[in-house]
């Protein structure tokens, strides 16, 4: 599934909506991790390319979550 960049913000994990993040062109479903669309002040519905690498756990964590599409 291709997910347009401008609609990624729709998946903000709020009001029962799923929480998606994008990373290096792929879109991941992180709903189980992001409570109310947030995980350690990191907001769902964003492209984290160039950001995730700087987090305490690095970027390998994304591989634990399902890929739901590609960022268009």
**Nearest residue to the partner ligand HEM, using Cβ:** 42
State the minimum distance, in angstroms, from the CB of residue 2 to ligand HEM.
Answer: 20
CA distances from 55 to 6, 10, 38, 42 (A): 24, 24, 15, 10
Chain positions contacting ligand HEM, by CB under 6 A: 21, 28, 30, 33, 39-42, 48, 51-52, 55-57, 61-62, 64-65
State the minimum distance, in angstroms, from the CB of residue 49 to ligand HEM.
Answer: 11
C-beta of residue 44 within 8 angstroms of C-beta of residue 51: no
β-strands 38-39, 42-43 pairing: antiparallel
State the minimum distance, in angstroms, from the CB of residue 52 to ligand HEM.
Answer: 6
């Amino acid at each position: 599934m291709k997910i347009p960049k401008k609609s990624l913000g729709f998946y903000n994990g709020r009001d029962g909506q799923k929480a998606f993040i994008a990373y290096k062109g792929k879109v991941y479903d992180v709903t189980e991790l992001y409570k109310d669309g947030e995980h350690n002040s990191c907001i769902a519905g964003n492209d984290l390319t160039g950001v995730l690498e700087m987090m305490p756990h690095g970027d390998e964590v994304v591989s634990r979550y399902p890929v739901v599409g590609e960022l268009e």
